[in-house]
Structure 1
Amino acid sequence: MQVGGAFIISNTRNENLTWKLGIYVNNELFGLFVMPLSGIDWRINARNNLFGILPGNLTYEHKINDHFYYGANFRAITNSYAKSNSYWRIDENQLGLYLDTYFNKNLVLNIEAGHSLFRKIRTGEKIFRKLMLK
């Protein structure tokens, strides 16, 4: 079983800017994963926004009109997968561009293109198996 979570506090400086700080903790197959978090939610002006929580994600968004938005995003993803008594860990950074088309308030078509940078794949033994065998 995998248990984890995040604790985030927000500081709203004004109606256009909110800062966020926190910590993410997760029990991954490779061990305890702890990561400090720093975030922003900034309405730069009526058409431009910057938001996200680093090191996980950051998005720039530009509003063309009420139905079309485009932007750029960054995502840092860490995944682990079980394989009998071992695991695979994948660390990946993604950069992308996107276009959102709003058909109505609840229906959005998202088109995204991007590339993975600095992908690293590691393997190892599951920690709980090591502890059980001792």
Structure 2
Amino acid sequence: MRLRQLCLLAVLTLGAMAQAEEASNSGSATPLSLSPHSQVTELQQRLKESEGLREELSKQLQSAQATRESAQLSRLRQENQRLAQQLKETQDGALTRWLTEQQQWFVTGAGVALIALLCGIFASGGHRRRRQWLN
């Protein structure tokens, strides 16, 4: 058990030394001589900058979503209007065809009745005569 702890400590120490050596070589890392107060101040400043950037990105995301949603909403409204117009045209067309068909049947029936009346008038000969079978 102790051997594991020693190995872990050795690995962590080597890693920290390698990291410190890399930091001193790169020059972009913060120097170790900064006081804890100045480090806290710097971290607070970076936190404020990060929060400001996060808020800005959040606003951009919301505006992009609003734009996308408004475009989708306008497309849906246009499609809804188109479908409503198509439904209205279909209903009007069906009503017009039904009325035309109904009127057509009425005219056909009136024509048949008129022809039957004319045939009856011409078949009787147009004058009154006595019935022969009554004598």
TM-score tier (shorter): under 0.3
- The structure that is helix-richer by fraction is 2
Q: Which has the larger share of strand?
A: 1
| Higher relative contact order structure (alpha carbons within 8 Å, sequence separation ≥ 6) | 1
Q: Which TM-score applies when normalising by structure 2?
A: 0.14
User: Which is higher, the Rg of structure 1 or of structure 2?
Assistant: 2
